[in-house]
Amino acid sequence: MSAKPISVATLAAMKARGERISCLTCYDASFARLLDTAGVEAMLVGDSLGMVLQGHATTVPVTIEQMAYHTACVARGRERALLIADLPFLASATPERALANAARLMQEGGAQVVKLEGGGHVVETIRCLTEQGVPVCGHLGLLPQSVNLIGGYRFQGRDADSAQTIKRDALAIQAAGASLLVLECVPAALAQEIGQTLAIPVIGIGAGAGCDGQVLVLYDILGLNPKRPPRFSRDFMQGRGSIMEAVADYVAAVRDGTFPGSAETTY
Ligand code: KIV
């Protein structure tokens, strides 16, 4: 493992070489240190912290103050992995809000990339952010911040029309200057096609092994989910003696393509 800090350019070069990228959510300094040592390439301060840390039923209550606070905690523990932070619910509702809130995540929190959910309607916002020097990660497929609108955590892109919309949005997000794209809960074949079409790395969650990388919620891979964990996740603590071993095995399984397996994939 190289100790050189990882940038969006490093991840683009990994994609070009056909090397898979491992990413995990992270919300504090101690886990950041551990994830860095275990060799993850990217850490996501996800607004999933609203569910796994704060106990909310959705990510909607999470505020920009809370995101900036947890991002700063992770930044103090991290040395190597790329630090991505979520713009929470409505924090990117307009380009002006997105710029102000991205400044908070980067200047107060130390984020290196900001992630925002959505398709066509956020493309202009992504363009504004990237023109101002803010590296952006898009997020398509299942959009957890829209759970109240879509009525649940439903798989996306199953029919031809919605698959077409996701493909079109992915291209538009790349054209607006995004450096990365997360694809959540879409069929494996659709994710693979998008990954092969885009030049930027596509990181999947519940999107099959054909993506350029994988992201999971840290608490799910450590078996800390008190509810039934998502089918696309895996408990890497099973049979391991330590958290470090579990995380290192996740990194290895992403790298060699054995995670996700067919039981964790929707085709
Ligand atoms: O908030 C989060 O943890 C995320 C991942 C599920 C991709 O956005």
Is 1 part of any domain?
Answer: no
Q: Are 250 and 24 contacting, i.e. CB atoms less than 8 angstroms apart?
A: yes
- Per residue in 146-170, pLDDT (tens digit) is 999 999 999 999 999 999 999 999 9
Phi, psi of 114 (to 5 degrees): -110, 145
Domain count for the chain: 1
The pLDDT, as a whole number, for residue 1 is 45
Calculate how far, in angstroms, residue 49's C-alpha sits from the geometric centre of ligand 1. Answer: 9
The pLDDT, as a whole number, for residue 262 is 95
The pLDDT, as a whole number, for residue 43 is 98
The pLDDT, as a whole number, for residue 92 is 97
Is 134 part of any domain?
Answer: yes
Distance CA 156, CA 187 (A): 8
User: What is the CATH classification number for the domain harbouring 13?
Assistant: 3.20.20.60
Question: Domain range holding 146?
Answer: 8-264
- Amino acid identity of 181? L
Is 213 part of any domain?
Answer: yes
Is 3 part of any domain?
Answer: no
Is 2 part of any domain?
Answer: no
Q: Are 105 and 129 contacting, i.e. CB atoms less than 8 angstroms apart?
A: no
Calculate how far, in angstroms, residue 24's C-alpha sits from the geometric centre of ligand 1. Answer: 9
The pLDDT, as a whole number, for residue 132 is 98
Is 54 part of any domain?
Answer: yes
Q: Whole-prediction pTM value?
A: 0.98
Q: What angle do CA 209, 210, 213 make, to 5 degrees?
A: 70
Calculate how far, in angstroms, residue 70's C-alpha sits from the geometric centre of ligand 1. Answer: 14
Which residue, judged by its Cα, is nearest atom 4 of ligand 1?
Answer: 46
The full length of the chain comes to 267
Show the low-confidence residues of the chain (pLDDT under 70). Answer: 1-2
Is 193 part of any domain?
Answer: yes
C-alpha distance across the termini of the chain, in Å? 33
Q: Which residues contact 124 (CB under 8 A, 6 or more apart)?
A: 95, 176
| CB 192 near ligand 1, within 6 Å | no
